[in-house]
């Protein structure tokens, strides 16, 4: 009965943690499993039972290729497992950078310091007016970013920045709500300094919501970079000059969005390549959405007992 009660009260959180544990297992333990080719060896061709050579990409369940292969003949299962660490690192890094900017901006806007509340309102309004994918796509193709040696870092910062207004506005609203509580006013009357008020009164009120926002945003970032990859924009791609006046976009990354490089062609000829990449990204999005809902329920239940 006790286990049933725990499942009823924390079912979403438990499910989210189980999915997250599986995702972390694949990310950090998966590369050492015997069925995973950590060298990602390229295969020029394989032979069928009649000895006829078959070029890549190989279909699923062809010899040792459980999920099939990509166009270079690399095992798709190994690619997804080996690319998990890079993919998760990118989306978590973008989320952390976003909130490193959003938290102080939201706090300063809450305090109306030097007109930051107007800046935040403008950022939120302007950047929310245009869909995020269009905004990032337009800025990512600008020559200063496209030809930059630091393109990866610029694009990571850009993706983080375009949602700073929304994140900062959410934080400001939560701080405004917390500041209206009677216990905050009593701290101000008692002569507490702003930093102490934030640390002792405001932070305990909003940190739970910040955790939920950040976990939710990890899923949103995963969805966004998947969309960008589908239209041919990759974080790690580089523009290489292959001849006089001739440039070629190359992507040496093994992150999941990389498998969308030839998505439109693969949808007609090798659908398993974008399918399994999309499945891995969808699983990640689902994991963090369920986890955020579970964490949110925990804090809601905690607040209801205060």
CATH of the domain at 237: 1.10.3720.10
95 vs 229, residue with greater confidence: 95
Overall number of domains in the chain: 1
Q: Is it the case that residue 62 has pLDDT exceeding 90?
A: no
Rounded Cα gap, residues 52 and 49, in angstroms: 7
Angstrom distance (rounded) from CA 4 to CA 11: 9
Is residue 211 in some structural domain?
Answer: yes
**CA angle (126 as vertex; 122, 130 as ends), nearest 5:** 165
The better pLDDT of the pair 94, 44 is held by 94
Kindly compute the dihedral angle of the four CA atoms of residues 193, 197, 198, 201, in this order, to the nearest 10 degrees: 170
* Average pLDDT of the segment spanning 6-31: 86
Query: What tens digit of pLDDT does each residue of 273-304 get?
Result: 899 999 999 999 999 999 999 888 887 766 55
**How big is the CA angle at 261 (ends 151 and 146), to the nearest 5 degrees?**
20
Q: Are 132 and 147 spatial neighbours (Cβ–Cβ below 8 Å)?
A: no
Asked if residue 185 has pLDDT above 70, the reply is: no
Q: What range defines the domain where residue 148 resides?
A: 83-304
Residues 6 or more apart from 287 whose CB is under 8 A from it?
16, 19, 20, 23, 219
Answer whether residue 241 is part of any domain.
yes
Domain assignment present for residue 77? The answer is: no
Place of tokens 């890079």: 86
Domain assignment present for residue 24? The answer is no
Q: Where are the beta strands (DSSP E) in the chain?
A: 46-47, 53-54, 238-243, 246-250
- Would you give the DSSP letter of residue 68? -
Beta bridge partners of 62: 65
The yes-or-no verdict on residue 106 having pLDDT over 90 is no
Look at residue 49 and tell me if it is in a domain.
no
**Model pTM score:** 0.88
Residue 36 lies in a domain: no
pLDDT at residue 23, as a whole number:
95
Q: Is residue 43 included in any domain, yes or no?
A: no
pLDDT for residue 194 is more than 60:
yes
Q: pLDDT value at position 244? A: 59
Of 275, 259, 255, 258, give the one whose Cα is nearest residue 267.
275
**pLDDT above 70 for 155:** yes
The mean per-residue pLDDT over the stretch 145-168 comes to 86
- Which pLDDT score is estimated for 139? 85
Is residue 156 domain-resident?
Answer: yes
Q: What is the Cα–Cα distance from 46 to 53, expressed in whole angstroms?
A: 6
């Amino acid at each position: 009965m006790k286990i049933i009660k725990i499942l009823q009260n924390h079912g979403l959180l438990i499910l989210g943690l189980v999915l997250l544990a599986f995702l972390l297992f694949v990310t950090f333990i998966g590369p050492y499993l015997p069925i995973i080719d950590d060298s990602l060896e390229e295969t020029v061709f394989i032979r069928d039972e009649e000895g006829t050579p078959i070029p890549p990409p190989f279909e699923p369940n062809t010899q040792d290729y459980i999920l099939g292969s990509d166009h270079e003949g690399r095992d798709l299962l190994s690619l997804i497992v080996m690319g998990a660490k890079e993919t998760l690192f990118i989306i978590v890094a973008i989320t952390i950078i976003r909130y490193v900017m959003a938290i102080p901006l939201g706090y300063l806007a809450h305090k109306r310091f030097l007109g930051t509340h107007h800046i935040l309102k403008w950022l939120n309004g302007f950047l929310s007016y245009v869909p995020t994918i269009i905004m990032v796509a337009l800025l990512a193709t600008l020559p200063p970013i496209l030809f930059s040696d630091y393109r990866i870092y610029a694009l990571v910062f850009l993706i983080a920045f375009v949602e700073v207004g929304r994140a900062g506005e959410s934080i400001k609203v939560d701080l405004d709500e917390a500041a209206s509580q009677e216990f905050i006013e009593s701290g101000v009357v008692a002569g507490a300094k702003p930093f102490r008020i934030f640390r002792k009164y405001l932070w305990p009120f909003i940190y739970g919501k910040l955790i939920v926002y950040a976990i939710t945003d990890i899923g949103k970032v995963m969805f966004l970079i998947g969309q960008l990859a589908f239209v041919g924009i990759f974080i790690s791609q580089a523009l290489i000059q292959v001849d006089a006046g001739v440039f070629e976009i190359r992507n040496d990354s093994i992150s999941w969005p990389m498998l969308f490089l030839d998505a439109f062609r693969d949808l007609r000829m090798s659908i398993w390549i974008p399918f399994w990449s999309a499945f891995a990204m969808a699983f990640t999005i689902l994991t963090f959405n369920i986890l955020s809902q579970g964490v949110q329920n925990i804090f809601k239940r905690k607040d209801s007992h205060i």
